[in-house]
Amino acid sequence: MKDGAPQAARLKDRAPQSARLKDRAPQAARLKDRAPQAEGVDSWFIRLPPPNVNWRGTADVLRQVAALNALAGTAVPHCTVRWSGDDLEWFGCPYFVVPKLDGDVLRLGPGEWAAPLAESEVLDMGRQVMTALAGVHKVDPAKAPYLGHPVPFKDDVERWDRFYERAADPECLARVPDCRRRLLETLPADAPVGIFHGDFQTSNLLFAKPEPGSPPELLAVIDWELTGIGATLNDVGWICTFSDREAWAKGTVDRPMFLDPETLMTLYVDAFGDPLPDLNWFRALAAYKFAIITGFNLSLHRRGKRVDSSWEVTRHSMTPLIDRALELLG
């Protein structure tokens, strides 16, 4: 991204006099007040596309704006968009600005802030999370026309073919063709369609730190890069998969888990209220997708295109994820 000084100067014309650009990292630059943190002091996050990419898909930050604006007036905790636009005068790219919230994403690993919480507190957090998700899915998608047409259920399966073909360690994905066939044979007929988040899991759930005597409060569902219109229950399948011990390799690394899938699904069904199809198909699709995503990202890592050694650990779960998907499909 280009030097942010000219853009910061223009933004300060709209922001409080004491505001300054704290950092200029793509996706989450922060406009922060010079004064010490205190009541009434404004602090902002600026979301920008990554540099040197086409402003489409996940790099189209205005898709996030569409989803966030559609949540206005609902009980879903979210960041309210203060400014947004595609006027290149400001940053040379589309942008949006939201208030900075004082909290942290849900961290459950050893030594993390949520690790010592009581079971009752974690259950209350889960109820907040799944109630918020049901609230997202209840929003009329007509409020977000910028997100386009619904993704067909069949496309939700077939879109991963090209990533499967480029995955590293293909022997770990040997059962992918069988899983793909079963998913297509059992496509849900009456599943709800609406606005989905696209990456609904613990690292995108922003909580206030716990206060004595009360569980942490969900402040916002964040990071809407993958939002769209389509099968909303994919979000349920996604968060369940990341809390499903049967989907992950044993003995490689101890993955911190949120509530078990059955509890998460029960909380969601209670919050949604209306009858729903079998949620296991969406859990299977999530496991199928993440196994392929892992193989593809492992390939990028090994070729030096997007270096991240954590995929060398996650690779051990590629086969268990596919096995779990097939088990859920019956």
Measured between alpha carbons, how far is 79 from 100 in angstroms, rounded to an integer? 8
Same domain flag for 68 and 15: yes
Residue 318 lies in a domain: yes
Each residue's pLDDT tens digit, 266-275: 999 999 998 8
Residue 274 lies in a domain: yes
Same domain flag for 72 and 204: no
Lowest-pLDDT choice from 24-33, 286-295, 297-306, 312-321: 24-33
Measured between alpha carbons, how far is 193 from 212 in angstroms, rounded to an integer? 40
pLDDT interval class at 16 (50, 70, 90)? low
Residue 111 lies in a domain: no
The residue from 65, 99, 133 where one domain ends is 99
The confidence score (pLDDT) of residue 17 equals 53
3 state SS of 149:
coil
Give 3-state DSSP helix, strand, coil % of the chain, rounded to 5. 45, 15, 45
Each residue's pLDDT tens digit, 88-131: 988 999 999 999 999 999 999 999 999 999 999 999 999 999 99
Same domain flag for 218 and 250: yes
Same domain flag for 231 and 320: yes
Each residue's pLDDT tens digit, 189-206: 889 999 999 999 999 999
* Residue written as token pair 């899938």: 261
The confidence score (pLDDT) of residue 284 equals 99
Q: Is 283 exposed, middle or buried (0-12, 13-18, 19+ CB in 10 A)?
A: buried
Residue 259 lies in a domain: yes
- In this structure, what token pair is assigned to residue 319? 């086969």
For residue 164, pLDDT beyond 70: yes
pLDDT interval class at 3 (50, 70, 90)? very low
The confidence score (pLDDT) of residue 60 equals 97
The radius of gyration computed from the CA coordinates of the chain, to the nearest angstrom, equals 21
- The domain in which residue 93 lies consists of 5-99
154-162 mean pLDDT: 97
pLDDT interval class at 140 (50, 70, 90)? very high
CATH code, domain with 23: 3.30.200.20
Residue 158 lies in a domain: yes
Same domain flag for 125 and 86: no
- Give the chain's length: 330
Each residue's pLDDT tens digit, 252-307: 667 889 999 999 999 999 999 988 988 999 999 999 999 999 999 999 999 999 99
Same domain flag for 124 and 85: no
* DSSP state letters, 302-318: HTTSS--THHHHHGGGH
Each residue's pLDDT tens digit, 36-81: 343 454 789 999 999 989 999 999 999 999 999 999 999 999 999 9
6-30 mean pLDDT: 51
Same domain flag for 34 and 148: no
**Residue 217 near residue 128 (C-beta atoms within 8 A):** yes
Count of structural domains within the chain:
2
Measured between alpha carbons, how far is 183 from 164 in angstroms, rounded to an integer? 15
The residue from 99, 133, 164 where one domain ends is 99
Same domain flag for 136 and 93: no
The residue from 51, 69, 99 where one domain ends is 99
Long-range contacts of 311-315 (CB under 8 A, 24+ apart): 313/252, 313/253, 315/168, 315/169, 315/172
For residue 34, pLDDT beyond 50: no
Same domain flag for 138 and 247: yes
Percent of the chain residues topping a pLDDT of 90? 79
Nearest to 76 by CA among 233, 200, 179, 241: 200
CATH code, domain with 124: 3.90.1200.10
Cβ count within 10 A of residue 160:
21
Same domain flag for 157 and 211: yes
Would you give the distance in Å from CA 120 to the centre of its chain?
Answer: 25
3 state SS of 213:
coil
Residue 289 lies in a domain: yes
Residue 47 lies in a domain: yes
Nearest to 159 by CA among 222, 230, 240, 61: 230
For residue 2, pLDDT beyond 80: no
Global pTM? 0.89
pLDDT interval class at 209 (50, 70, 90)? confident
The confidence score (pLDDT) of residue 36 equals 34
* DSSP state letters, 171-190: GGGTTHHHHHHHHHHT--SS
Q: What is the residue-averaged pLDDT of the chain? A: 90
Residue 104 lies in a domain: no
pLDDT interval class at 212 (50, 70, 90)? confident
Each residue's pLDDT tens digit, 219-246: 999 999 999 999 999 999 999 999 999 9
Degrees, nearest 5: CA angle 40-71-76: 75
Same domain flag for 82 and 199: no
Q: C-alpha distances in angstroms, 318 versus 64, 143, 168, 309, 310?
A: 30, 38, 11, 15, 13
- In this structure, what token pair is assigned to residue 84? 């947004």
Same domain flag for 92 and 144: no
